Amino acid sequence: MAATDNGIFNRIGVRPVINGCGVYTDLGGSRFSPAVWQAMEEVNHHFVDLPDLLDAAGQRIADMLSAEAGLVTPGAAAAIMLGSAAVMAGTDGTRSERLPDVSGLKSNVLIQSGHRYKYDRQVTMTGASLVEVGSKNGTRIEQIEEAVDGSTGMILYPAHLEPKAGSVPISEVAGVARSKGVPLFVDAAFMNYPTDVLPGLIEQGADLLAVSAKYFGGPNAGGFIVGCKDLIEAVRNVYFTRYESGDYLKYGRPLKMDRHTVVAVVVAFQEWLARDHDERLASWVTRVGILCDGLSEAGGVSAQPMCFTLDERVVSDPVNCAVLTFDDGGMTPGSLSDALASENPQVLIIPDGERLIIAVDEMSDDEARYVAARITALTT
Ligand SMILES: *Cc1c(COP(=O)(O)O)cnc(C)c1O
């Protein structure tokens, strides 16, 4: 389909987007591969017992990661919420039913002060409380050890913040968690490449691991939680199934999933693990090349191949974006990005101070050509 085919979204009354930002929930996540799309189409012709499907799908994913058990969830944020609820409720249905009333439950979730991040909100949604350990400048392992007490439900660790200065490494936190008998929950939402990172986190001692499907070509509303058998059993106890048909008004009923999405998460993850990632990275280099070549005639703008990371830093590799810098006297980053965003289709790119970043992860080659042509037209 041509980059400028505005069909379905314009008919609904919204402008489509050429995605120069990458994988973002607000832009709808990622693009399905033909195999994922085909699987969803096939699913649409058949019914299945959803609790059975969730168990089987979760086990398939757990097996791929050498984890004991798992469940597909409507995203990593949902997995954090479910994990937080699960460590409080265990396998007790009445506890699942009374959340977010946490009285008498192990409702404190420890987090290193420097690790506070947007998705820790999913912990407090359950009624649990976050307990910060250490200071913004850093935490020591002894402080975590001392902070664990009878009210500690789990330790939350956002894996992408491990490199942050002052962080206690995951393996050391895992040691404390094990010796104190408290679960370690690791948010590894986008740690899917290299593909041995996720099994490595389980090996290091993560008792529960949350992963988002939006970063591996799965549904925007997909993800999974994997980990120890007993904790996944507790997640099942707070999850959405058997609400009407079971004995308890289970906590997680609003976090429901359809069978298409559950299957798509499995198929997309299988594909991700089997994928030729060198080819994927090479296709980005090619696409950034198309973009930069197309911008050679643009006025007052220079484009440089760079890498925009999933935690939003600009580094040199692997190349997945063009960074635009501006000569004085021409368009500014703000005026160009505003002009692109006001078009139909909207072209959305990333503001970065005096620069603009155009990420090609979720672009086709045709779209890269189109974006270069629009910028050239606007700047000359
Ligand atoms: C995107 C993201 C999440 C949430 O994942 P969803 O699948 O969108 O719910 C959680 N943690 C991190 C670090 C993320 O980047």
Domains and CATH numbers, the chain: 8-28+276-379 (3.90.1150.110), 34-274 (3.40.640.10)
Ligand 1 geometric centre to CA of 221 (Å): 10
CB-hemisphere CA count at 13 Å for 27?
A: 22
C-alpha 170 to ligand 1 mean position (Å): 19
3-state secondary structure string, the chain? CCCCCCHHHHHHCCCCEEECCCCEHHHCECCCCHHHHHHHHHHCCCCCCHHHHHHHHHHHHHHHCCCCEEEEECCHHHHHHHHHHHHHHCCCHHHHHHCCCCCCCCCEEEEEHHHCCHHHHHHHCCCCEEEEECECCECCHHHHHHHCCCCEEEEEEEHHHCCCCCCCCHHHHHHHHHHHCCCEEEECCCCCCCCCHHHHHHHHCCCEEEEEHHHHCCCCCCEEEEECHHHHHHHHHHCCCCCCCCCCCCCCCCCCCCHHHHHHHHHHHHHHHHCCHHHHHHHHHHHHHHHHHHCCCCCCEEEEEEEECCCCCEECCCCCEEEEEECCCCCCHHHHHHHHHCCCCEEECEEECCEEEEECCCCCHHHHHHHHHHHHHHHC
Does the beta carbon of 187 sit less than 6 angstroms from any atom of ligand 1? yes
The torsion angles phi and psi of 219, rounded to 5 degrees, stand at -65, 150
Q: Is the CB of 222 under 6 A from ligand 1?
A: no
Alpha carbon dihedral 228, 197, 257, 364, in 10-degree steps, equals -170
User: Of ligand 1's atoms, which has the minimum distance to the CA of residue 213?
Assistant: 7
What pLDDT, in 10s, does the model give residues 59-79? 999 999 999 999 999 999 999
CA of 191 to the centre of ligand 1 (A): 11
Whole-angstrom distance, CA of residue 169 vs CA of residue 346:
42
Q: Is 162 in the pocket of ligand 1 (CB under 6 A)?
A: no
Q: Model-level pTM?
A: 0.96
Q: How many CA atoms lie within 13 A of 264 on its CB side?
A: 30
Of ligand 1's listed atoms, the one at least distance from the Cα of 310 is 15
Q: Quick count: other Cβ atoms within 10 Å of Cβ 70?
A: 28
Contact in structure between 356 and 337 (CB atoms under 8 Å)? yes
Q: How far is the CA of 261 from the centre of ligand 1 (A)?
A: 17
pLDDT score recorded for residue 1:
45
For residue 103, report the distance from its CA to the centre of ligand 1, in Å. 29
Q: In this structure, which residue's CA is closest to atom 12 in ligand 1?
A: 189
The helix (run of H) or strand (run of E) holding residue 315 is strand 314-315
- Single-letter amino acid, residue 172: E
Per-residue pLDDT of the chain (380 residues; tens, 9 = 90+): 454 556 899 999 999 999 999 999 999 999 999 999 999 999 999 999 999 999 999 999 999 999 999 999 999 999 999 999 999 999 999 999 999 999 999 999 999 999 999 999 999 999 999 999 999 999 999 999 999 999 999 999 999 999 999 999 999 999 999 999 999 999 999 999 999 999 999 999 999 999 999 999 999 999 999 999 999 999 999 999 999 999 999 999 999 999 999 999 999 999 999 999 999 999 999 999 999 999 999 999 999 999 999 999 999 999 999 999 999 999 999 999 999 999 999 999 999 999 999 999 999 999 999 999 999 999 99
Q: H-helix or E-strand containing 83?
A: helix 76-89
The answer to whether 327 touches 311, Cβ cutoff 8 Å, is no
Token representation of residue 171: 């393996």
pLDDT digits (tens, 9 = 90+) for 333-351: 999 999 999 999 999 999 9
Q: For ligand 1, atom 5, name the residue with the nearest CA.
A: 76
- φ, ψ (nearest 5 deg) of residue 131: -120, 115
Q: E strand or H helix at 303, and its extent? A: strand 301-308
> Measured between alpha carbons, how far is 71 from 93 in angstroms, rounded to an integer?
18
